[in-house]
Structure 1
């Protein structure tokens, strides 16, 4: 079995007694639940249909139908030899080298499968168009999110897009006003934050809003109010990792994937030009490599 919905159901402290009875039934018979009706589940657990709908919303779905679709998807996607893969601690005690390799392989594959099924294509397209219309792209990320930002930063540079990423904490909060305030220069920011609730994110977004710079929010938080309300577009990935996780395996792969989709869409908007930019970028790197190699040979290095 699996995690994203399953782990939410295990959080009994946030459930009423009726919801807890329902959650325990779903945890014990998940494959049965995906094949029965709302009325049948209500009768089986002796709870009201309203209780079922309320529980479905608590785990991030709009209703019972969506709950069953996501649960079925997860049961298919994340099952590994009939054992549950934990998001926060995927490696059981006593795992062999082969076990570790199998776990991370399956975790990566299934994460991509799940993200693909949940993709918001209009938001991806809107994000790419927003970047395409900008003259300068600012990237913001802290900690593990900074790694995601650096990956996109390098990709944008390869296309000749003016991308600015300040990796030092503190400097990020002021970067949006360091450049020319010429209104003809269109700017956009990409803010990457798994939880979207830190003081740094608040300062960064406040700075962007103050300077009228639209931003794209990339987050795994289901409700990142008020940031997602003022963002130009929100790209939300599906991850239930907690702060006690072993590592950001799910969220990292999810964010890289969704931003790769945005980058791919961005590339297609000016395909021939971007293909030419990649060729120029590769040529410059080869020329530098030849120059430095020749220079070392002259000096006898």
Structure 2
């Protein structure tokens, strides 16, 4: 871990010790500043910072910040280690549990907000806006996130397709019609991006020339991220041996909420009117059914 190496590495030069000390004292500042800014704060050269990063097994300062930020999500407010896989220590009180999940959510959102790629959010929203049909894919815990987005899209009157039954997503067959004017886009949600089901779905999309957006927490989702029109990558250190997808779930929901907000904003007045009309119809129906309950 980066923090352990910063504290325990003995063969640091005087310049590297200055850098390491600054990082240990102000880790949250470091993940949000540039290489140039850190160089100015420590009064050292940028080359010295990069050499220190390489000593810790990373290629440069950008990768160093990603690893540092990931470890920050594992620290509780009192400075004790908090595992994202098993965040609740044995014997935790109800108050401790409430504090733990509040902190995990807060840290996940804080980091995703800082690391959010605005350009990719805009591109993803534009792809959905330009399409006549949006297909959404997700399995297991990713299906919960997929259903949340699916509900939001149909609330706007958009055509969204999500097969929630196990095995039905892989059974989706696209008819190749060269004369069709119906445009399609897909959103594939997969934390690890390495299952046979994901491989099959993406192969089907690519075969039928359907552009897709990939939402994943995997750092290495090759070749899927190369095939995707947009890759929305969240930062989570969860392993497969986890109590639940707490940080990755919050991160994915946040990123998709940003995409949905941008999509809503593209055609703001129309989308606002659609929501108001839906709410009005629902209110009128509720009134009618209550009035006729006695019949």
TM class by shorter-chain length?
0.7 to 0.9
* Selected match of 1:215 from 192, 212, 216: 212
- Listed as ranges, the matches of 1:122-137 within 5 Å are 122-137=119-134
Offset at residue 103 of structure 1 (A): 0.8
Offset at residue 157 of structure 1 (A): 0.7
Offset at residue 25 of structure 1 (A): 3.4
Aligned residues: 270
> Unaligned stretches of 5+ in structure 1?
1-5, 11-19, 43-47, 58-62
Structure 1 counterpart SS, 2:294:
helix
1:169 aligns with 2:171: no
CA distance in structure 2 between the partners assigned to 1:140 and 1:249 by the alignment: 20
- Listed as ranges, the matches of 1:75-86 within 5 Å are 75=72, 78-86=75-83
Change (3 A) 1:21 1:135: closer
CA distance in structure 1 between the partners assigned to 2:7 and 2:190 by the alignment: 30
1:115 aligns with 2:112: yes
Answer whether contact 1:78 1:106 (CA < 8 A) is retained.
no
CA distance in structure 1 between the partners assigned to 2:5 and 2:115 by the alignment: 29
CA distance in structure 1 between the partners assigned to 2:131 and 2:69 by the alignment: 41
CA distance in structure 2 between the partners assigned to 1:70 and 1:50 by the alignment: 11
Superposed CA deviations along residues 120-156 of structure 1, whole A, max 9, x for unmatched, are 0000000000000000000000000000000000000
Offset at residue 204 of structure 1 (A): 0.6
The aligned counterpart of 1:16 is: none
CA distance in structure 2 between the partners assigned to 1:245 and 1:181 by the alignment: 46
Superposed CA deviations along residues 226-274 of structure 1, whole A, max 9, x for unmatched, are 0000101000000010000000000000000000000000011000000
Structure 1 counterpart SS, 2:186:
strand
Offset at residue 282 of structure 1 (A): 1.3
CA distance in structure 2 between the partners assigned to 1:100 and 1:233 by the alignment: 36
CA distance in structure 2 between the partners assigned to 1:181 and 1:153 by the alignment: 27
Aligned Cα RMSD in Å? Answer: 3.1
The aligned counterpart of 2:24 is: 31
1:249 aligns with 2:246: yes
Change (3 A) 1:166 1:113: same
The aligned counterpart of 2:55 is: 52
The aligned counterpart of 1:13 is: none
CA distance in structure 2 between the partners assigned to 1:261 and 1:72 by the alignment: 21
Structure 2 counterpart SS, 1:189:
strand
Superposed CA deviations along residues 79-138 of structure 1, whole A, max 9, x for unmatched, are 411112211011111110000001111111111001000000000000000000000000
The aligned counterpart of 1:3 is: none
1:152 aligns with 2:149: yes
1:236 aligns with 2:229: no
TM-score, with structure 2 as normaliser: 0.81
TM-score, with structure 1 as normaliser: 0.79
Answer whether contact 2:74 2:81 (CA < 8 A) is retained.
no
Structure 1 counterpart SS, 2:238:
coil
